[in-house]
Each structure stands twice: as C-alpha cells, then as structure tokens.
Amino acid sequence: MNQDGTVNQDGVLYQALINAAADGVIIINYCGLIIAFSPAAEDLFGYCADEVIGQNVSVLMPESVAIKHDKYIHDHLTTGHTQIIGRGREVIARRKNGDLFDMHLSVGKTSDSDEKPSFVGICHDLTEYKNTLRQLERVDTRYRSVFNSQGLYIVRMSLEGEIMLANATFDGLFSVAGIKRSDNFIECLFDASREEFIGRMELLRHGGDNEFKLPLTLQIGASRNEVEWWLRRVMDHEGLHIQAVGIDISEKVIAANEAYFLKHFDAVTKLPNLEYLRKKFDQLEPTTDKQPYAFVQFELSNFKRMLKLDGDLEVDEKLRRISSVFEQDPTIMMASRLSEGCFLVVYRVPEYSDVEDYVTACLSNLQALLNLRAVVSSEMRAGCALYESCASFDLSVSRSDVALGFAKQEELPFVLYNDSIQRDYERAKQIESGLVGALGQGKIKVFMQPKIDLNTGAVCGYEALMRWFDDQLGFVSPLEIIKVVHELDLVIELDKYIISKTLNEIYDHQSLFCEDTPVSINVSAKSFVRRDVIEHLVLGLQERDLRSEVVEVEVTEDAVLSIGEVVKANADLLRLHRINICLDDFGTGYSALSYLGKLPLDNLKIDRVFVNDVKTHRGRVMLEAIISIAKSLDLTVTAEGVEDEEQSQILAQMGCDFAQGFLFSKALPTDQLEQFLQNHTVIASNAATISLN
C-alpha cells in the first residue's frame, strides 16, 4: 500500500489478506492519517472505510489519548525510540457512537521505497475476554457459562503446567484430531514454544509480571495451531495457579507469512527479490581480490516470443524450471528474478581464474541446462560486474544492469562492466534528462545541407538536419538524440519541433529558400501515419504565408511499407498542397518495390552505403538498377554521402539527378549559407570554364 492509499504491484493480494483477517486491520501513514481500514475494523469501530480514510487515527481514541498521539509519532520518527512497535498491548478505543471499549493492539512498521514509514495496527476486541476474566473471578456459575464459549481457549494450570481444568473448546482441538490430550500443558506445545513457556513460568516463580501475553504454538498431531495466550497468576482457595485464556491466531500468522512471502519473493519462481537478496549477501564471506563475487544479469532474448507462442501458464512453468536449474547449479551463490525474463545470479570467481572466462563458462553451462530442460533455445545476453569491497550491493547490481544494457544495444552475448560503458551510460542519462528542456527552450538547432544538381553544379535545395550543442554534453549527435527520443516516446514532439524550426528558418531567410531550392524535412515513420503531424506542416506554411513548394517531405521505407488508408490520405494531403515526397534511405529498409508505384512519390534518395560501393562492379550494378527503377516511375534520384569527385562523376554518368555530401558541404547554420553560395558559385563557374577549354 502506498502513502496516498493506492495499491502497489502486490496490492490486490495484500488487500485480499486484509479483507480476510478476522481482526481489524488499520494502516496509517507517517502523518497519522488512515490509509487502509479493513472490513473487520468497520465492524469493530462502527465506521465505514470511506468515513475514516484520510482522517487522523486519533478519531478512534479517547480524547485524553488522541491529543497526544501525533506527538508520539513525531517523537518516534525523530528519535527512533518506541515502546509499542513489534509488541502488543491493551488500549482503550472509541467507537463511532462514542462508546469506549478494551482492545488489544499490535503495531508493526514498514517503509516504502521513498523511506517514508507506514504503521499497521492489528486490533482485537477484548470486550469478551475482559468480561470473561471478570466473570471468572466473580461467580462460578457464571464462570461455567462463559468457560465453554466458542472462540476462546480457557485453561487453569499449575506453575509446572499440570492442567487442572480446560474448557470444551480447548479439548475439542485434540478430540477432532482423534488425539488424547496430555494432562500437562507443556506437552501440548511445539518444541520451540515449550522452552519459552517454561522460561516464563520460571520468571513467575521469582516474582515476574502477574499478567502477560504469550504467543505459543500448539502441537496437535501433525498440525500446529498458533494461539495468543493471556496468562495471569491467581491465588485462591486452591492455591497458586495460572489462569490462561487464548485466541487462535493461526489465520493471522498465515496471512502474515503470506504477506512476508509476497514482499520478499517472486510468486512464480519463488526466487527472492533484491531486498531479501541484499540481506542474504551481507551474510556471505567477505570478498577478496583473488576470489571476487561476480554479479551477472542475463535476459532471455526470446521471452516475448515465449509469451506470445506459449501463453502465461506455460511460460510460468518454464520460469519455475529456470529456478530449479539455479538450485542444481553449484556455481551459483544466489539468484533473483528481476523482471519478466531478466534474472540476477551471483557467482564466486575461483582464485587465479580469469573473470570473463569463468563467468562465460558458467553461463554456457547454465544455457546448456536450460536447453536440456526445454526452457530456451536462443542465446542469452548477459552483463557482469565485479563486487568491490569499497562498493555496495546496490551499486554492483546497477553496474551489471548497465553492462546488460550495453550488451543488448551492441547485440553482444556477454559484456563485462568497465568505466567506458559507465561513461556512455551516464551520457545517455544526461541526454535523457536534458532533451525535454532542450526542446522546450529551443536549444536544438536546424542546420541546412546543400543539395547539388549533378548536371549544372548549381545548388538545387537543402536538407534540414538537427544539431544540438550542449554546454555540459558538448555535441550530441542526431543518432544519440533519435535513440533517446524513441526511449522517451517523444518522436511526434521532436518531428513537430523540427518542422516548426525549419519553417522559421525559411521565413527568416526567404532570399535563400524558394521553389527552386526547397528544403527537405525528415518525417519519421511514426509521424507519417499521424494526420496531426502532416496538418502541423501545412498549417505552419499557411501561418507564415509561405508557398508550399518551398518544402519537401522525406520519409523512410518503413513509413510506407504498409500502404494503408492513413498513409494514402496523408500523402494525398501533401500532394494537394503541392509538397513533394521523397523516399529516404532507399534500399536499407524493407525495399518492397510494389509500394513505389502506389504512392505519389517525387524523389528517391539513395543511401550512402550504396554510394560508398559505387567504385566497385557490384556497387555500380546495384546503383544502375535503382536509378533505372526510379526513372521508369518518373522519379528524380538523389544520392547522399558523396565524398569525392569520382563518386560524383560516376553518379552523374548513371543518370543520378542530385547529390549531397561532404564533397559539396556539410550541414551549415543558415547564416553561413550566403557565404557558401558565393564560394560555390565561383567554384562551379571555374569548373565550367575548365570544362569548356
């Protein structure tokens, strides 16, 4: 249960346990406000849960206690001292109608991930118990009627445990099980409880508390009952003896054990969680440089496919098999399931062993065992970090996670953590934290890379490319930005941002950009199927009173792979407003030729990987085929990544129309384009003169 009253991942099970508890269960936060109120508590106090949720718990107390309760909480949170947590005591409580009653209160404390504590109170109505004690002390006839009341175990015994009298409820525990009850109370107890009971009786002989509570476990054949006893030393005409009244708390103990399990163990694999593993790790032998602990996180690369093909029940069974494999592997010191198909295992690297060789061998053996049990068939990806004595358990787990993330990113089977990986990880996190601010503050700029007409040598357009220079991060590459944008699901926001930025540059420099030199704007596959993104471009042009022909849209192959109604409608909207569409990075994606004739495309852009091979026979054949296909569909062709004059000449001879690349210019800030155009005009003029001569 969270501090605001919402339920966490295991909240449904916790709520079921609370609802099933016979005693009232109340949970308050560190401010003393009630955040949970069980059905049994409703019956006990006469309030509905909705009436008290959010109220201070003092509404359930007599006024003399209520005015001091907040101070008790404050003192505990300030000093850490307490007299009640983990112990039970009798208190006076107040019902909704104002009636006061005796109640036994047990208080527990727990902390959420934010370290703010909550307090759990188990409330048992002692009205019947108190009445019972009073009646037992008053009259024997009345005592007899209450003596055999259901729900209470009543036993009178000597200090040595010899049973002098027991009610039918207590005796019924044994008769139902077909067992003869012993005449000695001590022999009715489980071994551990016997020692505790004998010890308390010894204290009574030497003047200990006359009345006290003692939880004991009754051994009834093969089964056990958890009973909370109130024991009182009594002196009457029969001499000194013990009067014991007990309440069966077996269900409460079971519920507490189940709650503990849910908090510390995975429900499917029964593997401990990190919190429990952290405590167990502290009990292991100290690490040494010669025999370090290796923290290894590995992920089943086919887990999602397993879920899709096998279903949840079959996958759960496979996960349980993984847990059993861990138990059979003697090299694994401890293991935990972190999430879905991700696990953490801890190895102790033997002395004089190479860490990477040893862990790789362990993982290969683990993979073989898993394959033998028909759990997985594909390779695992793993990240490993060594535990250092100066570090912490949590840091080692975090480092192994960083190593696993790098392994997945680079598609490597195994990665050992190092400082370089950490620097890359921290940079990625810095980019994540700074990206939203950069978009909001307009820090990501738009540069223009010129496109050249291979027939005339003149500038025939530009491609708008994003550039981010950060004070702390330095230059952040477009690939880094795109990766983080996809992880943060900001693709649409980034595309709209670049569209607006580009249109602003065109508006502010209308002498540079016109229908003869349009600016290409990249639109992601995710955005091209969004009507609002296309409308954002069209409306942006209209709001700035710019002609539509001054821009073009570049989309990648995956954006048009599925020619659905939305894609056609968006393409038609661009065509309606006379905005050309260019198919970017042709040949690197899915390359289904069928869609080339189904969309109103205007230009096909050849990816740099083909341009790099233009000087080889195979590369030329590929390029000639691509250009031939484009020409047959009346599409112009642009080559990107042109870096030398020979590439440019070969492309021109093949019929390629336009080119861009470092041979001509890198992407430039708009305020540098005018100087570039002047220099380029001179170079083109000189080249033409040389050609004529």
Domain boundaries, the chain: 14-131, 149-254, 268-417, 443-680
Written out in words, the top-level CATH class of the domain with range 149-254 is alpha beta
Residue 124 and residue 101: Cα distance in Å, rounded? 11
438 or 131, higher pLDDT: 438
Same fold for the pair 14-131 and 149-254:
yes
Look up tokens 């683990």; give the residue.
366
Which CATH superfamily groups domain 443-680? EAL domain (3.20.20.450)
In DSSP terms, 232 is beta-bridged to 211, 243
Kindly tell me if the per-residue pLDDT of 688 is higher than 50.
Answer: no
Q: What is the DSSP annotation of 647-693?
A: HHHHHHHHT--EEESTTT---B-GGGHHHHHHHHHHHHHHHHHHHH-
Residue 440 and residue 8: Cα distance in Å, rounded? 33
Q: Which pLDDT belongs to residue 563?
A: 59
Residue 539 and residue 475: Cα distance in Å, rounded? 32
Alpha-carbon distance values, 609 to 133, 362, 413, 462, 640 (Å): 91, 40, 27, 21, 9
Kindly tell me if the per-residue pLDDT of 109 is higher than 50.
Answer: yes
Q: For residue 447, name the pLDDT band (cuts at 50, 70, 90).
A: very high
In DSSP terms, 28 is beta-bridged to 34, 119
Alpha-carbon distance values, 477 to 5, 294, 465, 469 (Å): 44, 34, 11, 9
Strands of the sheet with 100-111, listed across from one edge:
34-37, 24-29, 117-125, 100-111, 88-94
Q: Which pLDDT belongs to residue 452?
A: 95
Q: Which pLDDT belongs to residue 597?
A: 67
Q: What is the mean pLDDT of residues 615-631?
A: 90
Amino acid, res. 477: S
Q: For residue 498, name the pLDDT band (cuts at 50, 70, 90).
A: very high
Q: What is the mean pLDDT of residues 29-48?
A: 92
315 or 226, higher pLDDT: 226
Q: For residue 446, name the pLDDT band (cuts at 50, 70, 90).
A: very high
Q: For residue 150, name the pLDDT band (cuts at 50, 70, 90).
A: low
Kindly tell me if the per-residue pLDDT of 649 is higher than 80.
Answer: yes
Computed over every residue of the chain, the mean pLDDT equals: 85
Q: Which pLDDT belongs to residue 692?
A: 39
Q: For residue 408, name the pLDDT band (cuts at 50, 70, 90).
A: confident
Kindly tell me if the per-residue pLDDT of 59 is higher than 60.
Answer: yes
Q: What is the mean pLDDT of residues 335-359?
A: 85
Structure tokens, 351 = 């002395």
Look up tokens 């409580």; give the residue.
93
Q: What is the mean pLDDT of residues 508-516?
A: 92
Q: For residue 413, name the pLDDT band (cuts at 50, 70, 90).
A: confident
* Helix and strand element counts for the chain (H, E): 24, 24
Q: Which pLDDT belongs to residue 14?
A: 74
Residue 123 and residue 105: Cα distance in Å, rounded? 5
Kindly tell me if the per-residue pLDDT of 146 is higher than 50.
Answer: yes
Q: Which pLDDT belongs to residue 378?
A: 54
Q: Which pLDDT belongs to residue 253?
A: 80
* pTM value > 0.85: no
Residue 556 and residue 605: Cα distance in Å, rounded? 10
CA nearest neighbour of 602 among 623, 584, 620: 584
Kindly tell me if the per-residue pLDDT of 260 is higher than 50.
Answer: yes
Structure tokens, 447 = 């540069």
Distance of CA 502 to the CA centre of its chain: 37
Most confident segment among 34-43, 202-211, 233-242, 678-687 = 34-43
Fold of 268-417: Alpha-Beta Plaits (3.30.70)
Q: Which pLDDT belongs to residue 235?
A: 82
Q: Which pLDDT belongs to residue 138?
A: 65
Alpha-carbon distance values, 437 to 24, 433, 445 (Å): 49, 8, 13
Kindly tell me if the per-residue pLDDT of 3 is higher than 70.
Answer: no
CA nearest neighbour of 2 among 115, 119, 112, 122: 112
CATH placement of domain 14-131:
3.30.450.20
Q: Where are the beta strands (DSSP E) in 237-379?
A: 239-248, 293-300, 332-339, 342-348
Tens digits of per-residue pLDDT, 172-223?
889 888 889 999 999 999 988 999 999 888 888 877 778 888 999 999 888 8
Structure tokens, 299 = 């992920």
CA nearest neighbour of 182 among 227, 219, 234: 219
Percent of the chain exceeding pLDDT 70 equals: 89
434 or 390, higher pLDDT: 434
Kindly tell me if the per-residue pLDDT of 568 is higher than 90.
Answer: no
Residue pair 445/468 in contact (Cβ under 8 Å)? The answer is: yes
First-to-last alpha carbon distance for the chain, in angstroms, is 86
